[in-house]
Amino acid sequence: MKITTLAVTRPVATTVLALLLMVLGAAALLDLPVREYPDIDDPSVTVTVVYPGASASVVQREVSEPVEEVLSGIDGVRRIRSSSRDGRARIEVQFSLDRNLDLAAADVRDRVSTIRNELPDQAEAPEIAQRSLESQVSMWLVLTSDALDRLDLSDFADRVLVDPLSTVPGVSTVLFGGERRYAMRVRLDLDALASHGLTVLDVERALRERNIELPAGRLVSETRELTLRTMTELERPESFRDLILRDEGGTQIRLGQVAEVSHGPEVDRTSARLDGQEAIGLGVVRQSGSNLVAVSQAVRERLEGLESRIPDDVNVEIAYDASVFVEASIHQIVRTLVITIALVVAVVFFALGSWRATLVPAATIPASAIGAFILLYLFGFSINVLTLLALILAIGMLVDDAIVVSENVFRYSERGKPRLLAADLGASEVVFAVLSTTAVLLAVIAPLALLSGDAGRLFSEFAAGLGGALGISSLMALTLGVTVASKLIDAGRIRETRLYRTVSSGIDAGGRGYQRILRRLVAARWLVAILALLVMAGTWWLYRELPRELSPREDRGSVFIPVAAPEGATMKHMLGVMKDIESVLLPLTGEDGPAEHVIGLIAPRSAGQGPVNSGIVILRLKDWSERERSQFEVTASLLPKLGAITGAQVFAINPPSLAASGFEQPVQMAITGDDLDQVNEWAQQVLARARQLPGLEQARLDYQPTSPQLQIRVDRDRAAALGVPIAEIGRTLQILMGGQDVTDFSIDAETYEVMVRAQPEDRSDPEDLSRVQVRAEDGSLVSLGGLVETRLIGRASELIRVDRLPAITLEGSLADGAALGDVLDALEREARELLPATAHIRFLGVSEDYQRSGRAFVYAFGLAMVIVFLVLAAQFESFVQPIVLLAGVPLALFGALAALWLGGGSINLYSQIGFILAIGLMAKNAILLVEFVNQLRDRGREIRPALEEAARVRFRPIMMTSVATLFGALPLALATGPGAETRRILGLVIIGGVVAATLLTLLLVPVLYLLLAGASRPRAGLARELERQRRSDGDPEPET
């Protein structure tokens, strides 16, 4: 028994099937996670090693390179990048997408442990985290207080907030912007040390030996047991000042006589500011692959649980939260989904002219849309922007199959057939057409799910959402749709309504006009073919002219302002630059301004090590409904004002929507080679050419060998003659100039460092080195000035390596109106003209994402065309008719590209999705027409009469399904609010593609069919020939 007959005779069963899909879909919906995009983060693990006082070159040689070597042998490594800065090394390992992140982190941990003893003794234990080098801070919590100074405020944050927030699921680490961790600051006076005959190492030994707490065991008697504790650890500044450094002949020299001892910050090389005021910032960095929305919600819940521990005089504010845009965008998409459903149902109602006929397609929408979540759940996907967009696009297509069924059932009812028979005959006649169009659409979508890499992760969830909805809609159209049609469609009652008569007369008039146009086109079919070739040429021209980018710019509610001061800039200099930036930004805050907060951070990722010449300012804008100016308008207005600031390179950027880090510039091209100096020469040549490109602004290199460095060369012969070990010279300088934690102390069960360093005035000039004393073998003091020579040079404060080769990255921003793809193409051409074969180019960050996605689209589009061709060939039993159906695809793309061009759009991931769907839209409409022509030819009709009859009968369902799809995409094209930019692009492409596909189906496909029909036989031709041969052979039945 046919499925359509079952739907007529078993209405309860079909209703139960629909309800079951809705129940299971609703259960899956409630259990699915919510996020902005599918997880496209490369599995990344970062190894961080702090090496206090070491220069970048030393860090690279002694830490980065050994770690890189041991990590390179791990399975699944895609790329290794390292950053060696003064006092710190960070090595990132990017794995292939199929690598389990937890197992990869375990492998990294095991490999690093094998070389721990080979790292310098002064280096801290490696920290291993599941994040990338540029992992974006998803939230900034800012602490301010009128009662507590920054030292106490920092201590409160460290004790109460940092650890609880670090343990939130999905959080990789918590950055401490403006940290002022408690320490016992021992500032040595070089002259006082010399006058008392002491050296720095004497002070270090005394602190280590006389500030110590060791277990003393226990006293055990017959009746009780006492644990012993020796109170030998110093706790207060007074105790440290009284520490005896030397006792000779009753003369005691105490620490307070040669140093200033007080509580103070362990380091003072990072700063956080909120709206122009000093503050403490806590930056939440999420793990690779974690859910941004889930992490944000979990952090907020954890903060609520900590409210009882936060004093009234401490204000903790979430000054920046990237998930706000995500939640607002998803809310807008859900709202658009509801509008789309209502709009499509209304369009169907006015197109059919009857509420009875409208209920047939309308009844299939809930089960189709909700049931799609079952597939998302089974594959472990999520509710995100792409899956919701897939459902929005599906709404306009979900009703197509049911409209075709409804229209054909109505046609049989008009002939006087009873309702049940009309439903059975009408539905059974279009079963093949419904299944064919669904199969073609699924064949178009299938390549999206088969892609690898980032594009595969993005498109696979989109494909699952759209494919699931379309597959279920086909099932519902042939089951529940037929059931509803058998109950409600009565041509006699429907034709009595005024609305139906009005709509029907309009469609009939349009159909008659269409037939007249078609006859003229058929008569001039070669001219039509020539015009089609011209349109194809226009398609190619539009594709070449439209700008290319990874994704459309979005108003994400914030503006990022990277700050790069000259190498060697001090904290005081950076604070001055920050105040100049705040003077530009703060006027934008207030009731009438578009901004809510100005967050300034200096060296937020340095952990107090390395240079302080970099920073970031975040201008957080008000809610989209509370401001008139867009993010782009604010950014454009800031560029000239920020460009006028002296003392640092300052520029405003719009955070990209599909980026690993919103703080990075979009253009990043790394040049690598065997020798760093040679790479620098190449990079300088490319930079000079890049600055001439019209679409690139703020082009610069991340390698600046201008940071001042005082090289100290030890006279080894003289040092040996005096018996001064080289190690003691190095240790002396390390403590005095770099500062070292030589021991620790406790306050309220919290352990802090004892930092020893020279007084600021004793370490401000190279001549101060001559005042440093070291002890000779005979016990006398020797001036360091007689043992060393100094030379001032310029060097790089950060050294980058990519895949174990020295690398220099050219970075830049996009000029207003410039597209990322166009700039990257031009930059790559220039670079390849200049660079020799021994140089290598690697795109990083957003630039790499764009390159990878572009290659994936070409593959997906070509694969979709091949699969659709083969599916159509099997369906129509012909290799010619698929050419008729697909010949219009380039012309349908013309409509999509023209809509983009008129709407000011670009070619990006979202428009590429629309291009691929255009294949399906074109083929879907053409199948409705060609399939009916084939049915008439199978019944013995000649080609031209069959074509004219099919065009007359199928005009109405083709127009109705196209209008439904068009109006389904209309809310996307007219989208407003957060994320509207991406939705608008997709809507424009679909509308342009639908209009073009509809016109081509009605006008071009009949002409092409007529031209190529002679090369194909009716589908039933072989079956009839076989039957004829059987009859002539006298054996009508096959042998069994």
Give the residue from 36, 12, 3, 13 showing the smallest Cα distance to 659: 36
The residue whose two tokens read 């900590």 is: 306
Residue 271 inside a domain? The answer is no
Average pLDDT over residues 311-334: 88
Query: What is the Cα–Cα distance from 483 to 475, expressed in whole angstroms?
Result: 12
Q: Would you tell me the crossing angle of helices 498-523 and 980-1012 to the nearest 10 degrees?
A: 60
SS3 assignment, position 710: strand
CB–CB of 864/919 below 8 Å? yes
The residue whose two tokens read 């200049």 is: 834
Cα-based angle 756, 760, 761 (whole degrees, multiple of 5): 130
The DSSP H or E segment spanning 794 is strand 788-795
Residues 62 and 126 both lie in one domain: yes
Average pLDDT of the chain? 83
Residues β-bridged to residue 600 = 273, 617
Strands 171-177 and 558-564: unpaired
Residues 631 and 778 both lie in one domain: no
Size of the chain, expressed as the number of residues it contains: 1040
What pLDDT, on the 0 to 100 scale, is given for residue 599? 92
The DSSP symbol for 14 reads: H
User: With the CA atoms of 859, 864, 865 and 867 taken in that order, what torsion angle do they form, in degrees rounded to the nearest 10?
Assistant: 120
Residues β-bridged to residue 791 = 711
Query: What is the Cα–Cα distance from 880 to 884, expressed in whole angstroms?
Result: 7
Question: What would the pLDDT profile of 391-411 be if each residue is shown by its tens digit?
Answer: 888 887 777 778 788 878 888
Count the domains in the chain: 4
Give the residue from 259, 251, 246 showing the smallest Cα distance to 193: 259
Q: Which amino acid is at 103?
A: L
Q: Which amino acid is at 102?
A: D
Residues 967 and 869 both lie in one domain: yes
Question: What would the pLDDT profile of 504-530 be if each residue is shown by its tens digit?
Answer: 788 778 878 888 888 887 777 777 778
Q: CB-based contacts of 887: which residues, under 8 Å, 6+ apart?
A: 532, 1004, 1008
Question: What would the pLDDT profile of 183-229 be if each residue is shown by its tens digit?
Answer: 889 999 998 988 888 999 999 988 888 887 767 778 887 788 887 77
Residues 626 and 545 both lie in one domain: no
Q: Going along 156-250, which residue ranges are E strands?
A: 171-177, 182-188, 215-220, 225-229, 244-248
Tokens of 598: 């100005």
Count CA atoms within 13 Å of residue 546 on its CB side.
27
The DSSP H or E segment spanning 502 is helix 498-523
The residue whose two tokens read 């079919």 is: 525
Question: What would the pLDDT profile of 634-691 be if each residue is shown by its tens digit?
Answer: 988 998 898 888 888 888 888 877 654 455 678 889 999 888 889 888 989 989 988 8
The DSSP H or E segment spanning 707 is strand 707-714
Residue 309 inside a domain? The answer is no
Around Cβ 450, how many Cβ atoms within 10 Å? 15
What pLDDT, on the 0 to 100 scale, is given for residue 660? 45
Residues β-bridged to residue 668 = 811
Residue 1024 inside a domain? The answer is no
The DSSP H or E segment spanning 953 is helix 943-973
CATH code of the domain containing 986: 1.20.1640.10
Strands 271-274 and 137-145: unpaired
Most confident of 219-228, 376-385, 855-864: 376-385
Query: What is the Cα–Cα distance from 482 to 353, expressed in whole angstroms?
Result: 19
Give the residue from 476, 489, 511 showing the smallest Cα distance to 418: 489
Question: What would the pLDDT profile of 923-971 be if each residue is shown by its tens digit?
Answer: 777 777 777 787 787 777 777 888 888 888 888 778 877 887 888 888 8
Range(s) of the domain holding residue 223: 182-265+707-795
Query: What is the Cα–Cα distance from 962 to 404, expressed in whole angstroms?
Result: 11
Q: CB-based contacts of 409: which residues, under 8 Å, 6+ apart?
A: 360, 422, 423, 426, 427, 482, 485, 486, 489
The residue whose two tokens read 């061709």 is: 869
Query: What is the Cα–Cα distance from 16 to 10, expressed in whole angstroms?
Result: 10
Q: Which amino acid is at 397?
A: M
Q: 823: burial class by Cβ within 10 Å (0-12, 13-18, 19+)?
A: buried
Average pLDDT over residues 436-463: 76
Give the residue from 956, 999, 1006 showing the smallest Cα distance to 400: 956
Last residue of some domain: 107, 131, 155?
131
Residue 1019 inside a domain? The answer is no
Last residue of some domain: 113, 131, 149?
131
Q: How far is CA 680 from CA 65, 191, 683, 686, 796, in A?
A: 20, 44, 5, 10, 11
Question: What would the pLDDT profile of 11-48 be if each residue is shown by its tens digit?
Answer: 899 899 999 999 999 999 888 888 877 776 677 888 98
Residues 405 and 456 both lie in one domain: yes
Longest Cα–Cα distance of the chain, Å, equals 135
Query: What is the Cα–Cα distance from 886 to 1012, expressed in whole angstroms?
Result: 13
Q: 447: burial class by Cβ within 10 Å (0-12, 13-18, 19+)?
A: buried
Average pLDDT over residues 57-81: 88
Question: What would the pLDDT profile of 739-774 be if each residue is shown by its tens digit?
Answer: 888 888 888 777 888 889 898 888 888 888 888 888
1015, pLDDT greater than 60: no
CB–CB of 499/394 below 8 Å? no
CB–CB of 401/477 below 8 Å? yes
Residue 167 inside a domain? The answer is no
CATH code of the domain containing 778: 3.30.2090.10
Query: What is the Cα–Cα distance from 988 to 994, expressed in whole angstroms?
Result: 10
What DSSP string describes 304-353?
HHTGGGS-TTEEEEEEEETHHHHHHHHHHHHHHHHHHHHHHHHHHHHHHT
Question: What would the pLDDT profile of 221-270 be if each residue is shown by its tens digit?
Answer: 778 888 777 766 788 888 889 888 888 777 888 999 999 998 888 777 78
Most confident of 94-108, 691-705, 829-843: 829-843
Q: What phi and psi values does residue 939 have, to the nearest 5 degrees? A: -85, 0
Q: CB-based contacts of 224: which residues, under 8 Å, 6+ apart?
A: none
Cα-based angle 906, 911, 915 (whole degrees, multiple of 5): 125
Strands 182-188 and 750-758: parallel
What DSSP string describes 130-144?
SS-TT--EEEEEEEE
What pLDDT, on the 0 to 100 scale, is given for residue 289? 66
- Could you tell me the pTM of the whole model? 0.77
Residues 359 and 487 both lie in one domain: yes
Give the residue from 949, 916, 856 showing the smallest Cα distance to 518: 949
Q: Would you tell me the crossing angle of helices 820-834 and 845-876 to the nearest 10 degrees?
A: 110
Q: How far is CA 499 from CA 349, 354, 486, 505, in A?
A: 10, 7, 22, 10
Query: What is the Cα–Cα distance from 597 to 141, expressed in whole angstroms?
Result: 12
Residue 279 inside a domain? The answer is no
Residues 821 and 775 both lie in one domain: no
Residue 161 inside a domain? The answer is no
Most confident of 30-44, 352-366, 584-598, 699-713: 584-598
CB–CB of 551/910 below 8 Å? yes
Query: What is the Cα–Cα distance from 970 to 986, expressed in whole angstroms?
Result: 10
Query: What is the Cα–Cα distance from 571 to 600, expressed in whole angstroms?
Result: 13
In 3-state terms the chain splits into helix, strand, coil percentages (rounded to 5) of 55, 20, 25
User: Phi/psi zone of residue 128: left (φ > 0), alpha (ψ -120 to 50 degrees), beta?
Assistant: beta
CATH code of the domain containing 583: 3.30.70.1430
User: With the CA atoms of 416, 421, 424 and 428 taken in that order, what torsion angle do they form, in degrees rounded to the nearest 10?
Assistant: -50
Question: What would the pLDDT profile of 899-909 be if each residue is shown by its tens digit?
Answer: 888 888 888 87
556, pLDDT greater than 60: yes
Residues 448 and 591 both lie in one domain: no
87, pLDDT greater than 90: no
Residue 152 inside a domain? The answer is no
Per cent of the chain over pLDDT 70 is 94
DSSP H helices, 451-490, are 453-478, 480-488
1040, pLDDT greater than 50: no
912, pLDDT greater than 70: yes
SS3 assignment, position 175: strand
Query: What is the Cα–Cα distance from 618 to 600, expressed in whole angstroms?
Result: 7
Residues 757 and 659 both lie in one domain: no
Query: What is the Cα–Cα distance from 313 to 145, expressed in whole angstroms?
Result: 6
Question: What would the pLDDT profile of 681-704 be if each residue is shown by its tens digit?
Answer: 898 998 998 888 888 888 888 887
Residues 915 and 814 both lie in one domain: no
Residues 239 and 365 both lie in one domain: no
User: Three-state secondary structure along 591-643?
Assistant: CCCCEEEEEEEECCCCCCCCCCCEEEEEEEECCHHHCCCCHHHHHHHHHHHHH
The residue whose two tokens read 């146009």 is: 517
CB–CB of 674/836 below 8 Å? no
Last residue of some domain: 88, 113, 131?
131
pLDDT grade for 1004, boundaries at 50, 70 and 90: confident
Query: What is the Cα–Cα distance from 445 to 924, expressed in whole angstroms?
Result: 13
Average pLDDT over residues 803-817: 85
Average pLDDT over residues 268-283: 87
Residues 683 and 812 both lie in one domain: yes
